Amino acid sequence: MSVSPLLQDLESALRCLPGVGPRSAARMALHLLERDRDRGLNLAKTLHQALVEIEYCEYCRNLTEIQPCRICQDESRDQNLLCVVSSPSDLLAIEQSGLFRGRYHCLAGLLSPLEGLGPQEIGLSALLERVQRDKPDECLVALASTVEGEATTHQIVMGLGDSVCVTRLAQGVPVGGELDHLDISTLSQALASRTQVQR
């Protein structure tokens, strides 16, 4: 059975998306061609425009189509609070909470020698320069609680020294979490980070 080469190209192109395998890509391609061509054309147009126009913010490395990004331009945000995240997706997660009103700095990932990601590759020097220049009162390190995240946090703390108050997100037992379902690492972190109960 001969399949259209262009259909095969479309399926192959869709497989570049995370979590999309051959069968999912085939279903998506057929859906767009058989039932939703107008939305498919709109998707193609929007995707092309985003890939051409969106770049990294010159200050915080968030993804944006204007320079600087809207967050950096917002003067109502707290200039003295800088939140360090590993990527724009983490920035988006924090923004969606609606609970943080400071500024951000996105790294280009986390330290990972096995993947060839050292301090230079993830942009640690740009973060240190920004803290020296902007002199925030607090630097909140909001990185993953993984080996790579811990190594990156340690490097940031050592690099900043006493120049700024460095804080991090609370870690430990999640809301609704059962103690007997926690791994030993999470439980030990929760015990080490325990706080006094407010009366």
Residue 66 lies inside a defined structural domain of this protein = no
| Total count of domains within the chain | 1
C-alpha pair distances (Å), 181 with each of 114, 176, 184, 187, 191: 31, 11, 10, 10, 15
Check residue 194 and give left, alpha or beta (phi > 0: left; psi -120 to 50: alpha): beta
Cα–Cα dist 45/69, whole Å: 23
Residue 129 within a domain: yes
User: For position 177, what pLDDT does the model report?
Assistant: 77
pLDDT on residue 118: 94
Q: What pLDDT score was predicted for residue 186?
A: 77
User: Is residue 52 one of the residues assigned to a domain?
Assistant: no
63: in domain:
no
Residue 198 has what pLDDT? 67
Q: Is 127 exposed, middle or buried (0-12, 13-18, 19+ CB in 10 A)?
A: buried
Q: Which domain holds residue 135?
A: 79-168
Per-residue pLDDT of the chain (199 residues; tens, 9 = 90+): 578 999 999 999 999 999 999 999 999 999 999 998 999 999 999 999 999 999 999 999 999 999 999 999 999 999 999 999 999 999 999 999 899 999 999 999 999 999 999 999 999 999 999 999 999 999 999 999 889 999 999 999 999 999 899 999 887 777 777 777 777 877 777 777 776 666 6
* Residue 115 placed within a domain: yes
CATH number, domain of 140, equals 3.40.1360.10
Cα dist. 9→73, 164, 197 in Å? Answer: 41, 52, 59
- 126: in domain: yes
Residue 48 lies in a domain: no
Cα gap 7→4, rounded to integer Å: 5
d(CA 56, CA 63) in angstroms, rounded, equals 5
Q: Does 140 reside within a domain?
A: yes
What is the number of residues in the chain?
199
